[in-house]
Structure 1
Amino acid sequence: MSVNDPFARRPGAANFTVTSTIVPEGAALRPGQMSARLPGGKDACPQPSWSGAPGGTGIFAATVHAPDAPTGFWHRAAAGIPATVAGLPESAGDDAGSGLPEGAIRLPDDARAARLLCTATPAGHGPHRYFVVAHAPDLEHIGIPAESTPAHPGFTMSGHALGRTMPTATAEPPSREPYT
């Protein structure tokens, strides 16, 4: 589906395997992956693992994007993950920056939080998709400041994409009052 797909017009890239023990492809996010502002929410980032990346991959990046949010929303971006790393633990890049391998950077989300801010779909907005993306560019270094926006690594990697894979999860929080 290309509706609100931030990667639909990017240059083609080989697919490789991304799995998660927490969020299987097409499944709903678990309550822990919901915003801590919702009942049962913990802002716990999905755990991705990857394999079969194209030869020549220099680094990896991992992002979580919600294309169905009213303006689209980048929930997570970690870049500069060494090519020898095959995944990230749940909630890597939390408030303390734990779980990210040496050399990797976490970028603030679209709310400028340095940690993962999980789904908080507006009341009555219906289900949203969440693209849990692993990127495999031919870059040895991402070369961007850690305070960059999540769009910055995507722009930097766009002409260097050897591989990209995009498992999709969904979420529709319980009814609640809109944020004030």
Structure 2
Amino acid sequence: MSLDRPVAPNPYELLPSVASFDVRSTDVTDGAPLADAQVADAGNTSPQLSWSGAPEGTQSYVVTCFDPDAPTPSGFWHWVLVDLPADVTSLDTGAGAESASLPGKAFHVRNDGGTSGFMGAAPPEGDMPHRYFFVVHAVSEPTLGVDDSASPAVVSFNLAFKTLGRAVLHGTYQH
């Protein structure tokens, strides 16, 4: 079965331009298929991420994983981690687990699967390859101003006004 629909645009190219900085991963290669560890029915484990070169004035970070290719008008949020302290520049593999100990006052908001923390890739079987954008957002405030009951859309709305820079890495997966 293949869903007959166009490929969604890169959502980060549609946002206002902000400074870019570097994000790397020992678990995800930019543009390459995700490892089983990042797939929902295999490992369901968030990847290691490290970043550098964030813009001056960065006071915190938000880390997200978004699939614009999900068969919904709004895509699918797999991970939203809010209020990482500005002195944190890496996350270990598995930091997206619901039970993970997070630095400072950082917290997860629920993903579109309804749980807090990272939810691995899970596109419909036979669908086109999906892209999973792992993004580190450099934030101009020490806190984004939301709590753990916020939706990913509310987090994104707040990011629109408080993002100084963005580092983007993406992997792919097809079931």
Fold conserved (TM > 0.5)?
yes
Match of 1:52 in 2: 53
Of the three residues 131, 134, 142, the one matched with 1:132 is: 134
Partner of 1:162: 164
Counterpart CA distance in 1 for 2:43 and 2:61 is 26
- The answer as to 2:26 corresponding to 1:21 is yes
Cα shift at 1:25: 1.0
Residue of structure 2 in register with 1:177 after alignment: none
Q: Which residue of 2 aligns with 1:112?
A: 114
Measured against aligned partners, the alpha-carbon deviations of 1:99-132 in whole angstroms (never above 9, x if no partner) come to: 4212101111012111321111111102111101
The answer to whether the 8 A contact 1:11-1:159 is kept is no
The residue matched to 1:151 in structure 2 has which SS? helix
> How far did residue 160 of structure 1 move?
1.9
The superposition leaves residues 80-116 of structure 1 with CA deviations (integer Å, 9 ceiling, x where unpaired) of: 00000001111213131x1421210111101211132
Confirm or deny: 8 A CA contact 2:23 2:136 kept in the other structure: yes
Q: Distance in 2 between matches of 1:25 and 1:9?
A: 20
Aligned partner of 1:80 in structure 2 is 83
- Any stretches of 5+ residues in structure 1 without a counterpart? 174-180
Residue by residue over 1:130-168, the C-alpha shift from the partner in whole angstroms, topping out at 9 and shown as x without a partner, is 101000021121110112111222111212221002111
Q: Which residue identity is paired with 2:54?
A: A
Instruction: Note the C-alpha offset of 1:32.
Output: 1.3
Identity across the alignment (%)? 37
Amino acid of the structure 2 residue aligned with 1:69: A
**Aligned to 1:172, which of 157, 171, 174?**
174
1:12 pairs with one of 12, 17, 33: 17
SS in 1 for 2:154: helix
Q: Output the aligned Cα RMSD.
A: 1.4
Unaligned 5+ residue runs, structure 2?
1-6
Question: Normalization by structure 1: what TM-score?
Answer: 0.88
Query: Quick one: distance in 1 between partners of 2:35 and 2:171?
Result: 10
Q: How many positions carry a matched residue from both structures?
A: 167
What is the CA–CA distance in structure 2 between the aligned matches of 1:121 and 1:65, rounded to whole Å? 12
Q: Helix, strand or coil for the counterpart of 1:167?
A: strand
Is residue 11–residue 161 contact of structure 1 (8 Å, CA) maintained in 2?
A: no
Q: CA deviation at 1:4?
A: 3.3
CA distance in 1, matches of 2:132, 2:38: 11
